[in-house]
Structure 1
């Protein structure tokens, strides 16, 4: 497929000097605003949605710092942000508690995230400054001044969440981790630890085994906007009734189960405090899955998945599992997702997760591939066996850096979209396509090899569709909803 070029020209004014003496003379006439220490310039899109604010904004900035060995340094955040909170003091609890505005902005969450940026930069120090680029620009214009940074880090080279391949950027097998030995570290864990410290909380302590010293395992089942009223009622009943003990050779442990509506756990610091001691998190796709990045050592995340209106199942952002060195990820069987997940299905997965913990898996995880679902394993193997596919999935062959390859047709970053060879949703594109296009084409994938791997991993059987006959094995155009 020919590369698709996205033109976004920027005008740069250049002033040239005949000599260094002329340059020095010109500099003496300038009005300078000096910013000492380390500053980090980043863009925080949609800062009223916490997962976007942290993983599209702050996390890429943190990875940039790590590439320079500056991940433990205090810095001043210089952020490009929407003007959601201009009239508020986000340090105040009442500002962070505000809800949805009349124009659809989660104002309180925006304040919480701006505070997270500020505290993260200052390593928790209350006096740390947060600089808004739009306000800084106005100050410079009104004073006819120029800005001199002591030390400025800027740019992330497509290290945002949605430009990833199999894992979050900066981690093993991510789209930018060419030197896997250098970036195969627990960068997500380091990010989580710093965020805990920034909010005045001790990060979960390191462990070498998942076997717990405590007798009661804490389980949280998190609400998801995709749940029906019946599913919510069933999960609340499960939390109330419990699932009994989980017995192993180490003895019997009990489970303390809670059903969590994150909107009722405010502000963000209280959410971190809850996660600090969680052993098992049961969650669906989307924003709720990003809480898995802050789970303690030796925990298990149960991904219950979701099916769309076409009955096509997905596990959403499972790149989070591949990026996590501290937790195991388990997945609801695909046939159960297609038929409809029941209370008994969730109960079984909780018991499975408890057994994994009590059996004692080693930490940190040495084989992150274990945290991939069947979709992730197929795409992982495709990248291993087809260099062209790997480069296409990483966006290394596209002028747009792979943006088109990660359009999230079903509404989330999903490896299942690649496996099912779904069509790109042209309605949500920032630029025009030359015509209808599937993700396999957009990502320049080896389709023949992909279909071989679907057979190898017995995808039709996993879906409960072993009798299906499609040239593509299983794909969107084949009509999965009718299988």
Structure 2
């Protein structure tokens, strides 16, 4: 009996299921003959994670409707989630405003990003073989929030912490302080907590005025009281917080940001060495 291949969902906004084509071989000799003599494929080495994310200009969608669910899929094949991997991404042109998200993707993954649309065009009359590929993210995206408002896989697969820790490590940032009971726990007494309000296109002018007024009030309180803390902070009515307002379209990608991974762990016998071809495949 031949079982059908499982269908997979490759993106948060891809409603249809993807079912890859397959070719059946009835002996290893037939398989070897086909691979070695008929198609002679170009091997793409290491781990490749394939997913779809059309809105790279929006870092929120790029992270939690694209990269996070794909990473959760990789977590299921431990310890591969600790290794560098390559992203194979179906992307739609968004006026070229996705350099920031692309930079985050590249640094997080460690082996860069390939454009699946270009790879498909290059596959006409030519074969490519992935050394390892993981595809499908199911309903693990942010827009598939659960009733408890937690990210899917965040608890049962420890996805939230693993995603956060890898993001910090890859961008060469110190991991956040773990606070189990309250925000003041293990906090430097004279160092305010940093908070960020992310700009949203749905904010009205009145919303922006109220948000800015709240930010000014909180920051003013912190500025006045930051030198009046005691060892346990009991003299303060409110915790010290410094709030910043961020608009992602105004943030430029850091060109110097590089992956913290060393030489790739897995080496392939046949590696893509044509630098022009690899450059063409990049987003």
- With normalisation by structure 1, the TM-score equals 0.41
Instruction: Please say if residues 235 and 259 of structure 1, whose CA atoms lie closer than 8 Å, have aligned partners that are also in contact.
Output: no
CA separation in 1, counterparts of 2:179 and 2:196? 24
List runs of 5+ in structure 1 lacking aligned partners: 1-6, 85-104, 123-127, 173-179, 270-483
Is the alpha carbon distance of 1:171 and 1:151 closer, same or farther for their aligned partners in structure 2, counting shifts above 3 Å? same
Instruction: Please say if residues 78 and 133 of structure 1, whose CA atoms lie closer than 8 Å, have aligned partners that are also in contact.
Output: yes
Is the alpha carbon distance of 1:259 and 1:54 closer, same or farther for their aligned partners in structure 2, counting shifts above 3 Å? closer
Aligned counterpart in structure 2 of residue 194 of structure 1, from 143, 166, 173: 166
How far has the Cα of 1:119 moved from its partner? 1.2
CA separation in 1, counterparts of 2:133 and 2:116? 14
The answer to whether residue 120 in structure 2 is matched with residue 137 in structure 1 is: yes
**More helix as a share of residues:** 1
Instruction: Please say if residues 56 and 101 of structure 2, whose CA atoms lie closer than 8 Å, have aligned partners that are also in contact.
Output: yes
- With normalisation by structure 2, the TM-score equals 0.66
CA separation in 2, counterparts of 1:25 and 1:224? 56
Partner SS, residue 167 of structure 2: helix
The answer to whether residue 247 in structure 2 is matched with residue 262 in structure 1 is: yes
How far has the Cα of 1:239 moved from its partner? 3.6
**C-alpha offsets along residues 15-45 of structure 1, whole Å, 9 cap, x if unaligned?**
4445433333232221301012111111123
**C-alpha offsets along residues 38-69 of structure 1, whole Å, 9 cap, x if unaligned?**
11111123111111111111101110111111
Is the alpha carbon distance of 1:233 and 1:129 closer, same or farther for their aligned partners in structure 2, counting shifts above 3 Å? closer
Partner SS, residue 112 of structure 1: helix
How far has the Cα of 1:71 moved from its partner? 1.6
The answer to whether residue 147 in structure 2 is matched with residue 159 in structure 1 is: no
1:60 equivalent in structure 2: 69
Instruction: Please say if residues 79 and 133 of structure 1, whose CA atoms lie closer than 8 Å, have aligned partners that are also in contact.
Output: yes
The answer to whether residue 117 in structure 2 is matched with residue 117 in structure 1 is: no
How far has the Cα of 1:158 moved from its partner? 2.2
Aligned counterpart in structure 2 of residue 34 of structure 1, from 24, 38, 43: 43
Is the alpha carbon distance of 1:203 and 1:9 closer, same or farther for their aligned partners in structure 2, counting shifts above 3 Å? closer
Instruction: Please say if residues 221 and 235 of structure 1, whose CA atoms lie closer than 8 Å, have aligned partners that are also in contact.
Output: no
Aligned counterpart in structure 2 of residue 20 of structure 1, from 1, 23, 28: 28
Q: CA RMSD in A?
A: 3.2
CA separation in 1, counterparts of 2:241 and 2:19? 59
Partner SS, residue 29 of structure 1: helix
The answer to whether residue 189 in structure 2 is matched with residue 214 in structure 1 is: yes
Partner SS, residue 71 of structure 1: helix
CA separation in 2, counterparts of 1:221 and 1:13? 46
CA separation in 1, counterparts of 2:207 and 2:22? 61
Instruction: Please say if residues 116 and 198 of structure 1, whose CA atoms lie closer than 8 Å, have aligned partners that are also in contact.
Output: no
Instruction: Please say if residues 35 and 147 of structure 1, whose CA atoms lie closer than 8 Å, have aligned partners that are also in contact.
Output: yes
1:204 equivalent in structure 2: 176
CA separation in 2, counterparts of 1:9 and 1:218? 43
CA separation in 1, counterparts of 2:194 and 2:120? 47
CA separation in 2, counterparts of 1:39 and 1:61? 11
**C-alpha offsets along residues 68-116 of structure 1, whole Å, 9 cap, x if unaligned?**
11221101111111134xxxxxxxxxxxxxxxxxxxx4x33x1111121
2:3 equivalent in structure 1: none
Partner SS, residue 240 of structure 2: strand
1:250 equivalent in structure 2: 232
Instruction: Please say if residues 193 and 203 of structure 1, whose CA atoms lie closer than 8 Å, have aligned partners that are also in contact.
Output: yes
**C-alpha offsets along residues 291-331 of structure 1, whole Å, 9 cap, x if unaligned?**
xxxxxxxxxxxxxxxxxxxxxxxxxxxxxxxxxxxxxxxxx
CA separation in 2, counterparts of 1:18 and 1:257? 66
Partner SS, residue 173 of structure 2: coil
**C-alpha offsets along residues 245-303 of structure 1, whole Å, 9 cap, x if unaligned?**
4978813457354441424761366xxxxxxxxxxxxxxxxxxxxxxxxxxxxxxxxxx
Q: Which structure is higher in RCO with an 8 Å CA cutoff and minimum separation 6? A: 2
1:343 equivalent in structure 2: none
Aligned residues: 223
Instruction: Please say if residues 41 and 152 of structure 1, whose CA atoms lie closer than 8 Å, have aligned partners that are also in contact.
Output: yes
Is the alpha carbon distance of 1:255 and 1:164 closer, same or farther for their aligned partners in structure 2, counting shifts above 3 Å? closer
